[in-house]
């Protein structure tokens, strides 16, 4: 009965998507393009953007060139660099207060998924000042146009520069939940490979596998996808298969860095409509309770979840496997594809499991994962608490 109710809800969502505009951000690409944003901001009526980033990037001076170029063009710039690795509602409120106090009229998200998510939530609070983060979490809790919003990723993985989601952790309960609203899709995505040159191999690995998870989950879900999302997911998988090993081996490989940015963008656009699934629903609990990096959680859980789905995903995985040049029957190609994910994880030093998972936490983790996944995510197999429990126990056993 639960599965039937989920599928009925998802059918309604599929029909609703034809009425909801899922736009693709305007792209600004190329090495050094991050220093050309003054005119595009002015064209959209923004003269005083709030740059949302984190302290690590600020200390490295990574946003400095962009900020200086904006100020040289006559724009005022305020920087908020208080975003935590898993942004909280308190981070959002701090950024919102700075936005108001400084008289900002636009937002530039600069960094990985955490600054992106925090910046989106700040924008949501700007336009919905009477709604708390908790009240906006879920579906369509914003539905107001954000101020001019530019997204500048410094990793190649989250795809947040093209998505309608912002994942925020409640500072009191540590519950991690998502705001999902088309209003949160950035107006402009800025893909400058120079910003990812020299990223540590561990970050390259985790963010790259996060992008792969986005593409695979969107494609194996497929219910909400149009030809565009299917094409984007396939392109992302092909690019990751070809360029992630190069980017991991040589952080200065500019072609690999540019192509991985493209892969992350495509994967992000694919799951913006296609949705993620049980990998993300389970992985968010690991990040919330134990501080596991999001990309690590996705990389580790992805092959486990795909194997648990079994034959339900063989055909769709086989189609992705073809993008990598794998051959055989659908079942053989699906298994080869899963083995490739496991081999990539091992090669790049990503964990095979998580020993910190505690028995007493698993019931709460199952509850949170079910609440996130059902009924919204059009997963190949609808899971209840027993399936999520099996996954968490397997993840601990494999550590």
Q: What is the DSSP string of 154-165?
A: SSSS--GGG-SE
Q: What is the pLDDT of residues 302-321, one digit of tens each?
A: 999 999 999 999 999 999 99
Share above pLDDT 70 across residues of the chain, in percent, rounded to a whole number: 100
Q: What is the pLDDT of residue 271?
A: 93
**How is the chain split among helix, strand and coil, in percent rounded to 5?**
60, 10, 30
Comparing CA positions, the residue from 191, 233, 193 lying closest to residue 213 is 233
Give the mean model confidence (pLDDT) for residues 217-243.
Answer: 96
Q: For residues 61 and 79, what is the distance between their CA atoms, to the nearest angstrom?
A: 12
* For the chain, domain boundaries: 21-196, 201-397
| Other CB atoms within 10 A of residue 112 CB | 28
Which H or E element spans position 191? Answer: strand 188-191
Instruction: List CB contacts of 356: < 8 A, sequence separation 6 or more.
Output: 290, 292
Q: What is the pLDDT of residue 234?
A: 98
Q: Where residue 222 falls among pLDDT bands split at 50, 70, 90?
A: confident
Q: What are residue 188's phi and psi, to 5 degrees?
A: -140, 135
Q: What is the pLDDT of residue 110?
A: 97
Query: Would the pLDDT of 2 be above 90?
Result: no
Q: What are residue 80's phi and psi, to 5 degrees?
A: -115, 115
Q: For residues 278 and 393, what is the distance between their CA atoms, to the nearest angstrom?
A: 15
Query: Would the pLDDT of 178 be above 90?
Result: no
Q: What is the pLDDT of residues 360-398, one digit of tens each?
A: 999 999 999 999 999 999 999 999 999 999 999 999 998
Q: Where residue 1 falls among pLDDT bands split at 50, 70, 90?
A: confident
Q: Where residue 257 falls among pLDDT bands split at 50, 70, 90?
A: very high
Fold annotation for 201-397: Dehydroquinate synthase-like, alpha domain (1.20.1090)
Give the mean model confidence (pLDDT) for residues 207-230.
Answer: 95
Q: What is the pLDDT of residue 187?
A: 97
Give the mean model confidence (pLDDT) for residues 196-207.
Answer: 92
Here the tokens at position 29 are 């690409």
The CATH number fitting domain 21-196, selected from 2.40.50.100, 3.40.50.1970, 3.40.50.300, 3.90.110.10: 3.40.50.1970
Residue 153 DSSP SS3: strand
Q: What angle do CA 293, 361, 290 make, to 5 degrees?
A: 20
Give the mean model confidence (pLDDT) for residues 74-91.
Answer: 94
What is the reported pTM?
A: 0.90
Which H or E element spans position 138? Answer: strand 138-139
Query: Would the pLDDT of 171 be above 90?
Result: no
**Beta carbons of 186 and 161 less than 8 angstroms apart:** yes
**Mean per-residue pLDDT over the chain, rounded:** 94
Measured CA distances, 236 to 8, 43, 255, 263 (Å): 30, 31, 15, 4
Rg (CA), the chain: 20
Query: Would the pLDDT of 21 be above 80?
Result: no
**Beta carbons of 343 and 212 less than 8 angstroms apart:** no
β-strand partners of 50:
78, 107
Q: What is the pLDDT of residue 97?
A: 97
Q: For residues 105 and 82, what is the distance between their CA atoms, to the nearest angstrom?
A: 19
């Amino acid at each position: 009965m639960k599965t039937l109710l989920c599928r009925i809800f998802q059918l309604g969502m599929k029909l609703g998507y034809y009425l909801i505009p899922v736009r693709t951000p305007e792209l600004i690409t190329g090495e050094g393009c991050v220093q050309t944003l003054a005119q595009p901001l002015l064209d959209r009526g923004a003269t005083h953007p709030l740059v949302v980033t984190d302290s690590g990037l600020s200390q490295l001076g990574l946003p400095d060139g962009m900020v200086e170029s904006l100020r040289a063009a006559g724009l005022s710039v305020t920087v908020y660099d208080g975003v935590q690795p898993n942004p909280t509602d308190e981070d959002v409120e701090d950024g919102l207060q700075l936005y108001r106090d400084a008289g900002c009229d636009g937002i530039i998200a600069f960094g990985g998924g955490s600054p992106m998510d925090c910046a989106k939530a700040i924008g949501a609070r700007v336009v919905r000042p009477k709604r708390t983060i908790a009240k906006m979490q879920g579906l369509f809790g914003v539905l107001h146009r954000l101020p001019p919003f530019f997204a500048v990723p410094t990793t190649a993985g989250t795809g947040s520069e093209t998505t309608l989601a912002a994942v925020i952790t409640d500072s009191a309960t540590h519950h991690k939940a998502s705001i999902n609203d088309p209003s949160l899709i950035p107006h402009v995505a800025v893909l400058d490979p120079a910003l990812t040159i020299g990223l540590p191999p561990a970050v390259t690995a985790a963010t790259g596998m996060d992008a792969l998870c986005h593409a695979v989950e969107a494609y194996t879900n497929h219910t909400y996808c149009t030809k565009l999302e299917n094409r984007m997911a396939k392109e992302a998988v092909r690019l990751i298969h070809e360029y992630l090993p190069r980017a991991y081996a040589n952080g200065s490989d500019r072609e690999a860095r540019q192509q991985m940015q493209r892969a992350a963008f495509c994967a992000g656009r694919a799951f913006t409509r296609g949705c993620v699934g049980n990998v993300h629903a389970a992985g968010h609990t690991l990040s919330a309770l134990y501080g596991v990096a999001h990309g690590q959680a996705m990389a580790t859980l992805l092959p486990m979840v795909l194997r648990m789905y079994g034959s339900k995903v063989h055909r769709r995985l086989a189609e992705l496997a073809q993008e990598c040049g794998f051959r055989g029957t659908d079942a053989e190609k699906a298994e080869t594809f899963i083995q490739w994910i496991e081999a990539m994880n091992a090669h790049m030093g990503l964990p095979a499991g998580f020993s910190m998972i505690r028995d007493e936490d698993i019931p709460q983790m199952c509850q949170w994962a079910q609440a996130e996944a059902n009924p919204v995510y059009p997963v190949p197999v609808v899971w209840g608490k027993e399936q999520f429990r099996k996954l968490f126990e397997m993840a601990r056993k494999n550590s």
